[in-house]
Amino acid sequence: MTSLIGLLGGTFDPIHLGHLRMAEELGEALGCHEVRFIPSGTPPHRAPPKASAEQRCAWVATAIADNPRFVLDTREVSQRDPGYMIETLTAIRAEVGEAQPLALFLGADAALELHTWHRWREIFDLAHIAIATRPGSTLTPSDAELAIELQQRAVRSPAALAQAPAGSLLPCQITALDISASAIRAACADGRSIRYLLPDAVLSRLFTNNPYR
C-alpha cells in the first residue's frame, strides 16, 4: 500500500493557522508522507490577491519550515494566465506517476462549489478529494450533479484512499478554527491585532512589508 500525497491549494493571502491545522489533521488522518501547499498565482474564481506572489510564497515557506511533512509547490505562481486545479493536478500526476495516490484537500465551502470549477469532473480521474468538515456539519450540495458525484464516490475509511490513485471522496472532521484570511486582511487595514491567528514568524514578515494597509 502506497501512502498518499496531500495537496492544498489556495491564495494564502495570508496563510494562517486554519490552513496549517487543516493540512496537519488531514495529513495525519490520511497517513500522507507529504502535503504540498500550492499558492495560486492568478486565481480564476476571485479577485487578485492583495499580496504579491512573492510575498505569499515567502509566508508559506516560513509557516511550514518546521514541519517535515509540508512542502511548498510554486508551480501556479510562476504562470501568468489564470491557474486551474485540473491543470495543476495533470502536471503533478505526470511527475509522480499513475500509481501514486493523490488527495486534494478542500474545505467544506470549497467542496460545495466544486461544480463551478473548470472541468471539475475530471479532477476525480487524477486525485481523491478529502473534505475538511466541522463537527456537526453536513455536506449538502445545491447542485444535483455534484450531489450525485459526492454520494457515489464517498468512502468511510482513510485507508480506502491509499488503495487507488484517484477517484474517491472522504469527509474528515477536523478541529473548528473560525479564522479567515479576509478577516485578517481587514484587521490589518484597520490596525487591529492579528496575533494568534497566524504563526509568529509569518506575523513578523507580514508587518515588515504589510500589503493590507
Domains and CATH numbers, the chain: 5-178 (3.40.50.620)
Asked if pLDDT for residue 78 goes beyond 90, the answer is no
Q: What is the mean pLDDT of the chain?
A: 93
pLDDT greater at residue 82 or residue 142: 142
- Residue 160's Cβ-side half-sphere holds a number of Cα atoms within 13 Å equal to 13
Mean pLDDT of 49-72: 95
pLDDT greater at residue 3 or residue 2: 3
Asked if pLDDT for residue 91 goes beyond 80, the answer is yes
Asked if pLDDT for residue 64 goes beyond 80, the answer is yes
pLDDT level of residue 76 (50, 70, 90 thresholds): very high
Find the range with the poorest average confidence among 3-12, 80-89, 119-128. Answer: 80-89
Q: What is the pLDDT of residues 9-23, one digit of tens each?
A: 999 999 999 999 999
Strands 34-39 and 70-72, sheet pairing = parallel
What pLDDT shows up at residue 27?
Answer: 98
Which residues, 6+ apart, have CB-to-CB distance to 151 below 8 Å?
Answer: none
C-alpha cell recorded at residue 103? 488527495
Mean pLDDT of 62-69: 97
Sheet holding 102-107, edge to edge: 70-72, 34-39, 5-10, 102-107, 128-133, 169-173
What pLDDT shows up at residue 1?
Answer: 59
Asked if pLDDT for residue 42 goes beyond 80, the answer is no
What pLDDT shows up at residue 44?
Answer: 72
Give the whole-number percent of the chain exceeding pLDDT 90. 83
Show the DSSP H helices in the chain as ranges.
17-30, 53-64, 85-96, 108-112, 123-126, 144-153, 158-161, 181-190, 200-208
- Residue 30's Cβ-side half-sphere holds a number of Cα atoms within 13 Å equal to 39
What pLDDT shows up at residue 70?
Answer: 98
Residue 203, sorted as left (phi over 0), alpha (psi -120 to 50) or beta, turns out to be alpha
Find the range with the poorest average confidence among 119-128, 136-145, 169-178. Answer: 136-145
